[in-house]
Amino acid sequence: MRLTRGPIGPVRSIFAARTFAVPRTCGRSRTRGTALTRGGRLGATSRRSTEAPIPTDKALSWAYSEEYLPESDVVLRARDRAAQLGCTPVLPGAGAVLRVLAAAVQPRAVVEIGTGAGVSALYLLEGMPEDGVLTTIDVEAEHQRAAKLAFAEASIRPTRTRTISGRASDVLPRLTDGGYDMVLVDADKESAAYYVAQALRLLRRGGVLVVDNALWHDRVADPARRDEATTILREIGRSVREDDRLVPALLPSGDGLLVAVRR
Ligand X SMILES: C[S@@+](CC[C@H](N)C(=O)[O-])C[C@H]1O[C@@H](n2cnc3c(N)ncnc32)[C@H](O)[C@@H]1O
Please state the closest distance from residue 178 (CB atom) to ligand X, in A.
22
Q: Which residues in 119-138 contact ligand X (CB under 6 A)?
A: 119-120, 137-138
Q: Which is nearer to ligand X, 63 or 134 (CB)?
A: 134
Element (H, E) at 135: strand 133-138
Q: Which residues in 190-219 contact ligand X (CB under 6 A)?
A: 191
Strands 246-251 and 257-262, sheet pairing: antiparallel
Q: Which residues in 228-247 contact ligand X (CB under 6 A)?
A: none
Sheet holding 246-251, edge to edge: 161-165, 133-138, 109-113, 180-185, 203-212, 257-262, 246-251
Q: Does 168 bind ligand X (CB under 6 A)?
A: yes
Question: What is the CB neighbour count within 10 angstroms for residue 83?
Answer: 15
Q: Does 164 bind ligand X (CB under 6 A)?
A: no
For the chain, the residue count is 263
CA distances from 97 to 66, 130, 153 (A): 10, 19, 22
Q: Does 97 bind ligand X (CB under 6 A)?
A: no
Please state the closest distance from residue 188 (CB atom) to ligand X, in A.
4
- How many binding residues for ligand X (CB under 6 A)? 23
Q: Which is nearer to ligand X, 92 or 237 (CB)?
A: 92
Q: Which is nearer to ligand X, 63 or 122 (CB)?
A: 122
Q: Dihedral of CA 192/194/197/202: which sign? A: negative
Q: Does 257 bind ligand X (CB under 6 A)?
A: no
Task: Using CB under 6 A, list all residues that contact ligand X.
Answer: 82, 87-90, 114-120, 137-140, 143, 167-168, 186-188, 191
